[in-house]
Amino acid sequence: MSEFLPEVLAVEILARLSIKDLSRCRCVCKTWRSLINHRGFAERYLDISPVRFVSFYDKGFYLLDVEGKNLVIQNPQKLELPLDESMIDESTCVLHCHGTLCVTLKNHTLIVWNPYSNQFKIVPNPGIYRDSNILGFGYDPVSNDYKLVTFIDQIGSSTAQIFEFRTGSWRESVPIPYPDWHYRERIGTFLDQYLYWIAYRSNVDRFILCF
CATH classification of the domain holding 21: 1.20.1280
Host domain of residue 142: 81-211
Could you tell me if 136 and 150 lie in one domain?
A: yes
Could you tell me if 141 and 72 lie in one domain?
A: no
- Check residue 200 and give its pLDDT: 76
Could you tell me if 98 and 151 lie in one domain?
A: yes
Could you tell me if 89 and 185 lie in one domain?
A: yes
In CATH, what number is assigned to the domain containing residue 130?
Answer: 2.120.10.80
Could you tell me if 109 and 162 lie in one domain?
A: yes
Could you tell me if 99 and 193 lie in one domain?
A: yes
- Check residue 112 and give its pLDDT: 92
Spatial distance between the Cα atoms of 126 and 20, rounded to a whole number of angstroms: 34
Could you tell me if 140 and 189 lie in one domain?
A: yes
Q: What is the pTM of this model?
A: 0.71
Could you tell me if 106 and 160 lie in one domain?
A: yes
Q: How many residues does the chain have?
A: 211
Could you tell me if 62 and 90 lie in one domain?
A: no
Would you write out the chain's pLDDT as a tens digit for each of its 211 residues? Answer: 446 677 888 888 888 877 778 777 777 888 888 888 777 787 787 777 766 778 888 888 888 776 655 556 666 778 888 888 888 887 788 888 888 899 988 888 889 988 877 788 999 886 766 666 778 898 888 888 888 888 876 666 677 888 988 888 888 776 776 666 677 677 788 888 888 888 777 766 777 777 7
Could you tell me if 133 and 199 lie in one domain?
A: yes
- Check residue 3 and give its pLDDT: 60
The burial class, CB within 10 Å (0-12 / 13-18 / 19+), for 82 is middle
Q: 161-195 burial string, b = 16+ CB within 10 Å, else e?
A: bbbebeeeebeeeeebeeeebeeeebbbebeeeeb
CB atoms within 10 A of CB 61: 20
Could you tell me if 10 and 56 lie in one domain?
A: no
